[in-house]
Amino acid sequence: MVRTPVCSDRSGLKKGTWTPEEDRKLVAYVTRYGCWNWRQLPKFAGLQRCGKSCRLRWMNYLRPNIKRGNYTKEEEDNIIKLHQSLGNRWSAIAAHFPGRTDNEIKNHWHTKLKKRIQQKLDNHDEKTECSNSEDHCPLQHNQDTNAEVHNNKNHVDPILINQSSTQIQADSWPLSPNSSLSDLSSMSLDSTALTSTNSVLEDTSFGPLEAHAEPISGNFWTETFMAENSYVPNDIVPLLVIEDLEYFCPTYEEELLSQNCLYEEYQGLFQ
């Protein structure tokens, strides 16, 4: 059996920037059916994309609760600390920052933080002229040890051992790979995602997926929801799950209306 490439142009798959229409289709599909198989998903969602591309788009931009930009000083300091201890393990670093993606943190590191550190190093070198003793260059020393740490998968993150920062709560904030429907009510929506989500209301264009998708039932949504949304704030869970199982998606249109209602309710909680 020959494995077909996950990403291939031979079948005319599209590459490059995602259009709002593609976003809408992806959000609509994942919102309704979840990510049961990324490789098959584009076919059923009506997308001329490879599964990998769909996954990336969802994970980095369309997934609910994504935070974009506006890094706080505390976040940046923590990224630097974590990078010193974890090296380039961006997903591990991102796990400490709810709503941040590994890709964005990686980009932020390369475009901002790395330069900042380099400047500090340069300044430090100028002031101390510590060219021959690493004992006098602790930051440099830390960077030098990164490779060693990076190569040791069993390395225990010292920051995790004695973690006092509220920003860093690896256990309580795993970066869920599969946030779904219910998170829509708690997400900090970027404009694209919001547009896409709202547009879902009008999208009934899925074709052959019906044959493959799970029927929408309480179990389907409950199980998916509970499994995939461990980081939904506790006070939202009852609103979304316990009280609203019936209310939750008895039909597609009602489901989508529910999302909007829940989103509005959630917004109301914080006003």
Partner DNA sequence: AATGAAAGCAACCGCAGTAGT
Partner DNA sequence: AACTACTGCGGTTGCTTTCAT
Instruction: Report residue 203 CA to chain centroid gap.
Output: 24
Looking at beta carbons only, is 88 or 251 nearer to DNA?
88
Looking at beta carbons only, is 61 or 266 nearer to DNA?
61
Does 90 bind DNA (CB under 7 A)? Our answer is: yes
Q: Which of residues 31-50 bind DNA (CB under 7 A)?
A: 35, 37-40, 49
Q: Which of residues 166-205 bind DNA (CB under 7 A)?
A: 177-178
Cα separation, 271 vs 255, whole angstroms: 25
Question: Are 226 and 240 in contact, with CB atoms under 8 Å apart?
Answer: no
**Residue 78 CA: distances (Å) to CA of 97, 146, 177, 179:** 9, 16, 22, 24
Q: Which of residues 54-73 bind DNA (CB under 7 A)?
A: 55-57, 60-61, 68-69
The residue type of 243 is E
Q: Which residues are CB-contacts of 185 (< 8 A; sequence separation ≥ 6)?
A: 236, 239, 240, 259, 262, 263, 265, 266
Least separation in angstroms between CB 129 and DNA:
26
Cα separation, 229 vs 182, whole angstroms: 8
Integer-rounded Cα radius of gyration of the chain: 22
Instruction: Determine which residue in the list 89, 159, 239, 263 makes contact with DNA, applying CB under 7 A.
Output: 89
Least separation in angstroms between CB 148 and DNA:
14
Does 3 bind DNA (CB under 7 A)? Our answer is: yes
Least separation in angstroms between CB 101 and DNA:
8
Looking at beta carbons only, is 85 or 258 nearer to DNA?
85
Looking at beta carbons only, is 51 or 184 nearer to DNA?
51
Report the 10 Å Cβ neighbour count for 43.
16
Does 107 bind DNA (CB under 7 A)? Our answer is: yes
Q: How many residues bind DNA (CB under 7 A)?
A: 44
Give me the residue label for tokens 């052959």.
Answer: 208
Does 141 bind DNA (CB under 7 A)? Our answer is: no
Does 112 bind DNA (CB under 7 A)? Our answer is: yes
Q: Which residues are CB-contacts of 77 (< 8 A; sequence separation ≥ 6)?
A: none
Hey, what are 3's tokens? 């494995």
For binding to DNA (CB under 7 A), which residues are involved?
1-4, 6-7, 14-18, 35, 37-40, 49, 51-53, 55-57, 60-61, 68-69, 88-92, 102-104, 106-108, 110-112, 115, 177-178
